[in-house]
């Protein structure tokens, strides 16, 4: 056995039968709704990462939010990132402790951890040097270049971590991809949505590594969508980015939100057609659809009603009550959308 494999096996064996495994199994098996809830907390943590360190790295690369200065944005987003990282370590630990051998014998999980390490190191180094000297990374062209290389490496690592997180449960697709199965047809009449499940593309997605690939992109896109909206919502509530007008945040972040929404919709439809009839009868899916409609209506109310008088409060630290309510409702609705999305797979 390879020394590294033996090392991780020893970790898994030491956790097996421990009080950590007993506690994690008890919580997952006995607390009603705990698995999808803790998974939602994990995904919301990813959304905060997308809304903090990912957008921050895009700012370093001059691809997003150009109006915000790097020293100011560093001070503002770093606490959110470290909080999200801690939250994800705790939420993920429940599943790792519950089935330690499933994870420590899984190469995808180990790849995920290997990709997470440079994110932490790069972010820590950048943050510490910025705390000592706010303009440290802007003083010399060489430092600017280094910061951009760090940002690119960090973005790449985030994508690898998100991909690994979704592929942990799909390692069999890596070794045994089917690529195609014959569509099911028994010669009888059946509803339209059942026929959708029997489309050739539906069968291919369901039976091959296309499904985990679509799910991976869907989670990343949905997290970026919520992370982008998060900035605007926190500004409306008066918690963060209060030095910037709401119109500026809208102009710079909404395009990212729309792009992520389109990508999430396309990948979501790809997964939907694999079990169309089942999803339409699934209470969690129905709830998610209703919540998405409410989130869209809330966003439309903000953009088409409240924005009419935006010039009166655009730069105010404390927006009017209606705008704060819209921001708070947006946060709650998108969090519930994530929760309903995780419940879909837990209701058969």
Which of the 8 DSSP states describes residue 275? G
81 and 61 in one domain?
yes
pLDDT of residue 116: 95
pLDDT of residue 24: 95
Q: Which of 115, 143, 176 is the last residue of a domain?
A: 176
170 and 29 in one domain?
yes
Q: Residue 193 is encoded by which pair of tokens?
A: 């949505």
160 and 32 in one domain?
yes
Please state the rounded mean pLDDT for residues 248-255. 89
Q: Which of 176, 196, 217 is the last residue of a domain?
A: 176
pLDDT of residue 12: 87
Q: Which of 50-59, 101-110, 186-195 has the highest mean pLDDT?
A: 50-59
Q: Which of 176, 203, 227 is the last residue of a domain?
A: 176
pLDDT tier for residue 139 given thresholds of 50, 70 and 90: confident
d(CA 14, CA 189): 55
pLDDT of residue 8: 83
Residue span of the structural domain in which 163 resides: 1-176
pLDDT of residue 190: 53
- pLDDT > 50? residue 33: yes
256 and 321 in one domain?
yes
C-beta neighbour count of 321 within 10 angstroms: 8
d(CA 99, CA 40): 19
User: Rounded mean pLDDT of the chain?
Assistant: 88
298 and 193 in one domain?
yes
- pLDDT > 70? residue 305: yes
pLDDT tier for residue 38 given thresholds of 50, 70 and 90: very high
Which is more confident, 111 or 182? 111
186 and 120 in one domain?
no
195 and 231 in one domain?
yes
pLDDT of residue 63: 92
278 and 163 in one domain?
no
- Please name the helix (run of DSSP H) or strand (run of DSSP E) that holds residue 164, with its range, or none: helix 141-167
CA quadruple 27, 30, 36, 41: dihedral, nearest 10: -30
pLDDT tier for residue 181 given thresholds of 50, 70 and 90: very low
SS3 65: coil
Alpha-carbon torsion (47, 50, 55, 60), positive or negative: positive
CB proximity list for 35: less than 8 A, separation 6 or greater: 28, 346
- pLDDT > 50? residue 179: no
Counting the structural domains of the chain, the total is: 2
Please state the rounded mean pLDDT for residues 196-208. 87
Please state the rounded mean pLDDT for residues 251-264. 92
pLDDT tens-digit readout, 271-296: 999 988 888 888 999 999 999 999 99
Which is more confident, 193 or 22? 22
């Amino acid at each position: 056995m390879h020394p590294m494999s033996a090392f991780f096996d020893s970790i898994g064996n030491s956790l097996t039968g421990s009080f950590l495994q007993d506690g994690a199994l008890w919580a997952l098996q006995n607390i009603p709704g705990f698995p999808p809830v803790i998974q939602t907390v994990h995904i919301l943590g990813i959304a905060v990462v997308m809304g903090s360190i990912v957008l921050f790295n895009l700012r370093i690369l001059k691809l997003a939010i150009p109006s915000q200065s790097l020293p100011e944005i560093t001070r503002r987003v770093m606490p959110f990132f470290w909080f999200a990282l801690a939250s994800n370590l705790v939420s993920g630990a429940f599943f790792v402790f519950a089935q330690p051998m499933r994870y420590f014998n899984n190469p995808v999980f180990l790849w995920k951890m290997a990709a997470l390490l440079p994110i932490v190191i790069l972010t820590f180094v950048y943050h510490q040097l910025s705390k000592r000297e706010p303009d440290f990374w802007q003083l010399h062209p060489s430092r600017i270049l280094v910061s951009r290389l760090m940002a690119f490496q960090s973005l790449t690592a985030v994508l690898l971590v998100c991909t690994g997180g979704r592929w942990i449960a799909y390692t069999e697709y890596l070794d045994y991809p089917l690529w195609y199965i014959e569509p099911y047809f028994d010669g009888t009449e059946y509803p339209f949505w059942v026929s959708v499940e029997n489309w050739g593309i539906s069968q291919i997605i369901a039976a091959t590594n296309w499904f985990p690939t679509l799910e991976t992109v869907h989670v990343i896109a949905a997290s970026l969508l919520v992370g982008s909206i998060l900035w605007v919502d926190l500004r409306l509530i008066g918690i963060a980015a209060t030095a910037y007008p709401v119109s500026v945040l809208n102009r710079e972040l909404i395009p990212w939100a729309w792009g992520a929404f389109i990508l999430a919709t396309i990948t979501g439809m790809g997964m939907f057609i694999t079990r169309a009839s089942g999803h339409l009868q699934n209470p969690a899916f129905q709830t998610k659809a209703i919540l998405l409609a409410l989130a869209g209506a809330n966003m439309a109310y903000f953009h088409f009603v409240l924005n009419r008088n935006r010039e009166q409060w655009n730069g105010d630290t404390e927006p009017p009550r209606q705008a704060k309510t819209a921001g708070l409702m947006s946060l709650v609705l998108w969090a519930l959308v994530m929760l309903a999305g995780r419940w879909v797979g837990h209701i058969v």
